[in-house]
Structure 1
Amino acid sequence: MLCNAYLLEGSMSWRALNLGELAHIVGRGSGVRSPRGEYPLDPSLREDADNLMLLCADQHGEIDAVGSLDLFTVEKLRQAKRQHEDRIRHLTSLGEDRATTVLRMVGPVHGRGVELSRQAAAAAVVARDRYPLFLESYTRHGIEIDLRGYPESRRSWGGTASQDAVVSLEYYRIATRMIDDVVERQLQPGVAREAVRHVSVFGFARLPLLVHLGSRLDDTVPTDIYQRHREDESWVWREGEGVPAAGFSTLVDQDVPAGSEAVLVVNVSGAIGMQEVPAALAGLRRWEIRPAGVPTGPDIMRDRGCLERFTAELRGFFAGLEAEAKTLERLHVLPAVPMSAAIAFGRVHHPQVHPQLVVYERLAGSYVPTLTVGGGGASGRDA
């Protein structure tokens, strides 16, 4: 109950086994040797369901150990039991159409990483009145893309700033292959056999990789994208908490005719100065997407509606390109966006209809093209 372990199958034998143990909140006996047994509860009530919990063996032993009785009090265990039963009652009340398959991707961002547990993802999904399905793999962690085992750059080995940029591009090539492998081997077969009818996506990684992940998601499958919030490190959308209703607008920042290439600067979580646009792109037509009526900021994407409005603005932008920039073949994208917005960006882009994306990232003090999306697939680019 407390650790959410699956108690009907062995983790080594994979055989169907009953590994649960009934534990007493107030001990069966009333003496000092019975854990919490001195609590004033009538002996006739000690075998009732209200006084019993289903635990794994490790938990059972720990809550009854002499050294932990001050922590696992009667009140604490009753609260845990009540919360768990409320959660199960809520989940089992949801219909089959409220199921969602959870996909998690986590990687380092300039040396910083986070933990993205199944429990954190489940809490965010349940808050949206859905229940999570973790398609099982041999790790029993479901659809998970873990990029933390690969170094982002040579700097961790004592390399120079210029080497940092070059080796990071190799990191992108490795990471995109991992993303493609998981999507093609796990997610797409589930969609094909209709085992996956809704997807919930959680991503913490470098922005170009999140754009690539979004581009590999099937746009015909209903999908919710989640955002990690800095103040409490949760992934639960802040609905109805007085969040400013941020909208978005697209401006022509440099009004020159659109040829085969153009630039899009996306200033949402931060601001990329126009002087930071690489010199090679200086003469191209340039658009900017930014918040309307509110300043840019790292916590702007607090409510789900904000992400939906950003996605709608993107769809309108790409629709305009189809009508007005028919010669455009390549769009250079400089993003300063929350991670959920990067995934949405990739998902909105249609590789057969829209121009190829060249996604940039700030490396070694300047913006470098690191990944292409569309036009033959995604790949790392040479700086």
Structure 2
Amino acid sequence: MSSTSISTKNKTKLWLISGGRCEYPGCNKPLWKDSVTYNKMNIAYMAHIIADTPGGPRGDKDLSEKLSDDISNLMLLCDVHHRLIDNKNEKGEEPEEHHPVELLRQFKKEHEQRIELVTSLDAHRKSYIVSLTANIDQHKGFVNFKDAKQAMLPERFPASDQIIKIDLTSSTLTEKDPEYWTVNAKNITRQVNTKLQSGPDGKEINHISVFGFAPIPLLIHFGKKLGNKVPTDLYQKHRDTDNWSWRDLEKEEFKYELIKQPKNKEEEPNDVVLILSLSGKVHVDEVTDLLGKNLNIYEMSVPNPNPLFLKALEQLELFGKEIRKLLAKIRQKHGEDCVIHLFPAVPIPIAIEVGRTLLPKADPDIKIYDNTKEGFKYSLSV
């Protein structure tokens, strides 16, 4: 603890710019209440980066006195991290070795920039977190509030600290059960209709941020039930970074390609096949072996279909535009009474976007096929 008097002005300013929370990375502990009893109390320590005396931790004969009441040299810390930065560590290293001045300045800068960002967000940037979770094989779906919030910032921030959960993980049915798809689709419809009437705080829902973990056909059904009435942001858990945050688009020339479409025939069948080869390649013979060869086949793909291709929000937005154009083309050429057989190999947010794109009264009926270990099998219709 400081042995000099820090001015009331700078004490107040430090509380404000730190948000009243510990500035040590990963802590963020609120310092105005006890974490066990929640009783209101001041448990903060105002620590100097360069000690206020030359003989103190990171002290300096020229700067200690000069910076003793300088806001740039002060950090708000909890008891644990105040002791950590000012004492020898278990290796016997001095504070200036294990927590040097530049490192602490970086800690302070990053924390206070984050507080500045969060407190500057406008009310219209509020968004309710919505999750769809189901079991996939032995994996149970789970969405963490902290990770979801981190992915939303800085464009959005949670309107509530409660997630609106569309939860299917308690179901005892598996994908091998004949009724699995219809039962879970009805469950999704029921939960969407009841849980999205208003937010957990009782207020009107004007924007949602959606995080999903479920089989592709259920994600498409979920997207259709969400529709486009409420502005929606979609997110994906990235395998290579283990977070939900969108990254910058690496290649500006990225595009989706319509690599296969039917030739004009005098008599065309009424059934249309739509293949989405994005997170993996769907082979045409997989489709024809199942449905026969007299088909109108459209296939949308990317240059190198793989599970990691979707990294940037721009890629998702571009897909939304391209799939809308393709569905309009199919409607125009084959009529609204045709049937579309959908074979998707797509990431989670694209599956949801497919459902959100569908126009209830204009688009044809769509039969979705799920990719199993035994090959594609019909799952449900939307």
TM (norm. structure 1) is 0.72
3-state DSSP class of the match of 2:118? helix
Looking at structure 2, the residues matched to 279 and 181 of structure 1 have their Cα atoms a distance apart, in angstroms, of: 36
Which one of the candidate residues 131, 139, 144 is aligned to 2:156? 131
Offset, 1:283: 5.0
2:126 and 2:159 in contact (8 A); partners too: no
- The match for 2:324 is 315
Offset, 1:335: 0.3
**Deviation readout 1:238-279 (Å, 9 max, x if unpaired):** 2243465123326324766242x4322211121111221264
- The match for 2:165 is 144
Q: Percent identity?
A: 26
1:135 and 1:143 in contact (8 A); partners too: no
What is the one-letter code of the residue matched to 1:135?
Answer: S
Which one of the candidate residues 22, 28, 43 is aligned to 2:44? 22
1:208 and 1:361 in contact (8 A); partners too: yes
2:131 and 2:211 in contact (8 A); partners too: yes
Which one of the candidate residues 163, 176, 183 is aligned to 1:166? 176
- The match for 1:162 is none
2:34 and 2:43 in contact (8 A); partners too: no
- The match for 1:257 is 268
Which one of the candidate residues 334, 344, 362 is aligned to 1:335? 344
Which one of the candidate residues 31, 40, 52 is aligned to 2:59? 40
- The match for 2:129 is 102
Residue range with higher mean Cα deviation, 250-259 or 94-103: 250-259
Looking at structure 1, the residues matched to 30 and 186 of structure 2 have their Cα atoms a distance apart, in angstroms, of: 32
Offset, 1:5: 6.6
Looking at structure 1, the residues matched to 108 and 189 of structure 2 have their Cα atoms a distance apart, in angstroms, of: 41
Offset, 1:60: 8.2
Offset, 1:211: 0.9
What is the one-letter code of the residue matched to 2:150?
Answer: A
Residue range with higher mean Cα deviation, 80-89 or 265-274: 80-89
Residue range with higher mean Cα deviation, 233-242 or 106-115: 106-115
What is the one-letter code of the residue matched to 1:95?
Answer: D
Looking at structure 2, the residues matched to 62 and 212 of structure 1 have their Cα atoms a distance apart, in angstroms, of: 51
TM (norm. structure 2) is 0.72
Listed as ranges, the matches of 1:224-373 within 5 Å are 224-242=233-251, 244-249=253-258, 251-253=260-262, 257-259=268-270, 261-277=271-287, 279=289, 281-282=291-292, 285-291=295-301, 294-326=303-335, 328-373=337-382
What is the one-letter code of the residue matched to 2:137?
Answer: H
Residue range with higher mean Cα deviation, 80-89 or 59-68: 59-68
Q: Alpha carbon RMSD of aligned pairs, Å?
A: 4.2
1:265 and 1:286 in contact (8 A); partners too: no
Looking at structure 2, the residues matched to 218 and 113 of structure 1 have their Cα atoms a distance apart, in angstroms, of: 26
- Any stretches of 5+ residues in structure 1 without a counterpart? 32-36, 154-164, 374-383
Change (3 A) 1:114 1:8: farther
1:205 and 2:228 correspond: no
Q: Which entry has the higher C-alpha Rg, 1 or 2?
A: 2
Offset, 1:354: 1.5
- The match for 2:6 is none
1:90 and 2:90 correspond: no
What is the one-letter code of the residue matched to 1:143?
Answer: I
Looking at structure 2, the residues matched to 10 and 170 of structure 1 have their Cα atoms a distance apart, in angstroms, of: 51
Offset, 1:103: 2.1
RCO comparison, higher one (Cα < 8 Å, 6+): 1
Aligned residues: 346
